[in-house]
Amino acid sequence: MSGPLEFEILAKSNSTSARVGSVKTPHGSFDTPAFMPVGTRATVKGLLPEQIHATGAQIILNNAYHLMLRPGDGLIRDLGGVHAFMQWDGPILTDSGGFQAWSLADTNQFDDDGITFRSLVDGSRIHLTPERSMEVQNNLGADIIMALDDCPPSVTSSDRLKQQRPDLASAHETQIGKDHRRRLVEAVDRTTRWLERCVKSHARPETQALFGIVQGGPDEALRRRSAEQVVAMDLPGYAIGGVAVGESTEAIAATVKLTAPLLPEDRPRYLMGVGYERDLVDAVRSGVDMFDCVLPTRNGRNGGAFTSQGRIQIRNARFREDLEVIEPGCDCTACVGGFSRAYLRHLFTAGEMLGPILLSLHNIRHFERLMVDIRAAIRDDAWSSLARAWPVLDEGLVEAPGTCGEDLADATTRSAD
């Protein structure tokens, strides 16, 4: 390999911007479009590395934020890096820690130097700069590392006011909208300045591929401005950030559709923290190659099971005597193993660990199977067969009330797990 990462496009869709590819890293290759399970604290919750492999996942994500706080990135470096630490021999991507600093800390401050927040572990004051984020990620040693970005929420306070006091909203909206746009502009330019510092301080560019992140909210002009600045850095890959921070499926799709074409065709495009099945297919059609999401594991731990027909809540009383596996025909460890919905319901009702384990295995395999089918659909340009095999891609089914428990509701699509 000439650099830390090689991206090869193997097939393209005729009717969309989708492509099938392969990304080669120092720890092996992965097929794209790729779905990465989230292993926040150097473990995909409850699963052994061999079980993760068995789901078909070829690359996983770790969170730099959590690992820098505990057990510490210096310790992981001294122990041989995060691959050796968690005994995962495939590719790993680490995020920068910026999103967690923003979403998890009660009191945090963004300024041009970086982000200041309190540690969730011991309350100590942490200052995360682009340089420190690179140091952390260099210490962890993942194959793909992310630039520290400034990621403002997409939902403005005027949206909330519109719902609560529509009479006041209009006048207020103009000002809030201006404030929000100012914040988005600030985020775009700061993200670029931080990226420059990341590139400069990245100590292992020959073995770790640094991806830049495009910001700009839902605004086309801002996205264009951000993409131009970020792409100018000539990096091995690019991510679409500032998405899945509270907006609808339609808003996500719109932002992705306008942003993906702004990124160079010959580099992998990574949509951070997205999402449901339909979100993935929409993004793939816009030319996105990589995804990560906590949905399969977080929902799995709460009894939420993904099927091609839609989501089910395994705790539901209707599964009490159901001898069927989660999804007949599924080739995951839980379904092939013959564990009935009745048994899984019992495990969740009794608070037994094996329930979350089996549902996590099933749910990750669900997303990995979807990616296999998506790659086939791209090669054959067979989008209607994909839709037939995965009725959940029909929006009506995804949102059907009663198909998923309330536990699913608070599972944000982007976060650590």
Going through 71-230 in order, the beta strands assigned E by DSSP cover 92-95, 108-110, 115-118, 125-128, 144-146, 209-214
Q: Which of 353, 385, 388, 395 binds a second copy (CB under 8 A)?
A: 353
User: Binding pattern to a second copy, positions 261-290, x when CB under 8 A?
Assistant: ------------------------------
Supply angle C-alpha 105, 40, 260, rounded to 5: 85
Residue 210 pairs in a beta bridge with 145
Residue 47 interacting with a second copy (CB under 8 A): yes
Residue 86 interacting with a second copy (CB under 8 A): yes
Q: Which of 3, 28, 80, 261 binds a second copy (CB under 8 A)?
A: 80
Residue 155 interacting with a second copy (CB under 8 A): no
Going through 33-139 in order, the beta strands assigned E by DSSP cover 34-37, 60-63, 92-95, 108-110, 115-118, 125-128
Size of the site for a second copy (CB under 8 A): 40
Q: Which range of residues in 74-82, 162-170, 302-310, 378-386 is near a second copy by CB under 8 A? A: 74-82
Residue 393's φ and ψ, nearest 5 degrees, are -70, -15
Residue 320 interacting with a second copy (CB under 8 A): yes
d(Cα 318, Cα 314) in Å, to the nearest integer?
9
Q: Which parts of 260-382 fold into alpha helices (H)? A: 277-285, 295-301, 333-336, 341-349, 354-380
Residue 342 Cβ vs a second copy, minimum distance, rounded to whole Å: 6
- Is 95 considered catalytic here? yes
d(Cα 198, Cα 67) in Å, to the nearest integer?
19
Do 99 and 146 form a contact (C-beta atoms < 8 A)? Answer: no
Q: Which of 36, 101, 357, 374 binds a second copy (CB under 8 A)?
A: 357
From 143, 279, 292, 417, active-site residue: 292
- Locus of tokens 């403002």: 152
Residue 100 Cβ vs a second copy, minimum distance, rounded to whole Å: 14
Q: Which range of residues in 19-27, 41-49, 219-227, 404-412 is near a second copy by CB under 8 A? A: 41-49
Residue 78 interacting with a second copy (CB under 8 A): yes
Residue 232 interacting with a second copy (CB under 8 A): no
Residue 25's φ and ψ, nearest 5 degrees, are -125, 170
What tokens appear for 87 in the block? Answer: 């005994």
Please report, as ranges, the residues that interact with a second copy according to CB under 8 A. 41-43, 45-50, 66, 70-71, 75, 78-80, 85-87, 320-321, 323, 333, 337-340, 342-343, 345-347, 349-350, 352-354, 356-358
